[in-house]
Amino acid sequence: MKNIALTLILVYLSSVAFALDLTVESKTVKQGEVFSLKVMLDNADTLGNTTFHISYPPDKLELLGITPGGVAGIENSLYAVNPELTPSRSGEVRFSWVYGAGYSGGGDLITLQFKIGAVEEREIPIRVESVSAVKANEALEDQEAIGHDGVLTVKFYGDVTDDRRITAFDASKILRHVAEKELLPEEVLPLADVSGQN
């Protein structure tokens, strides 16, 4: 049974404000083997939000599971992955992580578990694509948001002084506007109606 090398692409995200290294570990596996790959973060400096896609060939790899790593599991942080149900052969994993206090350093974000089929290729590419990141600000202010079922208090980081009441919000949009020292736009729409009313 031959070994297959999984070829991973290193992504280096750079901006005026900060730089970020995002990698997926490389591994050599055998046909039919179940294996795990960690998505690693490094050189983060007060990172408030990162979003990226990981693409893989669905005819060769089956995604069996996605678990949070040490970074994604930090208290008071929030992450989302898609697909939500596994096993999957969608060919793509989408990931977004938000941490209002800002994270500095490195560590594992998530672990992906795959099963490889009977393939002829000696190398299989897994790519990190569509990477974006937002740096968190350090100033903390309390704001209030109105949910469908009552009032909840959320904390925004940055120069937010408006006490505007909103029905729903997108965390990455909030962080982006806060980082740019802008107020939330009036046209923020509810992400979903969870009230049960039509």
Residue boundaries of the structural domains of the chain: 3-135, 137-198
14-36 mean pLDDT: 73
How many alpha carbons lie under 13 Å from residue 54 in its C-beta half-sphere? 30
pLDDT of residue 135: 82
Topology, domain 3-135: Immunoglobulin-like (2.60.40)
pLDDT of residue 111: 93
Q: Is the pLDDT of residue 53 over 80?
A: yes
Q: Is the pLDDT of residue 63 over 90?
A: yes
Residues ≥6 apart with Cβ < 8 Å to 150: none
% of the chain with per-residue pLDDT over 90: 20
Centre a 10 Å sphere on the Cβ of residue 26 and count the other Cβ atoms it contains: 12
| Cα separation, 154 vs 115, whole angstroms | 40
**Average pLDDT, rounded, for the chain:** 69
% of the chain with per-residue pLDDT over 70: 59
| Cα separation, 51 vs 172, whole angstroms | 9
| Cα separation, 26 vs 156, whole angstroms | 37
Q: Is the pLDDT of residue 180 over 90?
A: no
Report residue 45's pLDDT band, with 50, 70 and 90 as the boundaries: confident
Query: If phi over 0 gives left and psi between -120 and 50 gives alpha, with beta otherwise, what is residue 109?
Result: alpha
pTM above 0.75, yes or no: no
Q: What is the pLDDT of residues 76-129, one digit of tens each?
A: 899 999 998 889 999 999 999 999 888 999 999 999 999 988 888 778 888 888
CA dihedral 100, 106, 109, 115 (to 10 degrees): 170
Question: The tokens of 4 are what?
Answer: 């297959």
Q: What is the pLDDT of residues 145-165, one digit of tens each?
A: 333 444 434 444 444 444 433
| Cα separation, 96 vs 127, whole angstroms | 16
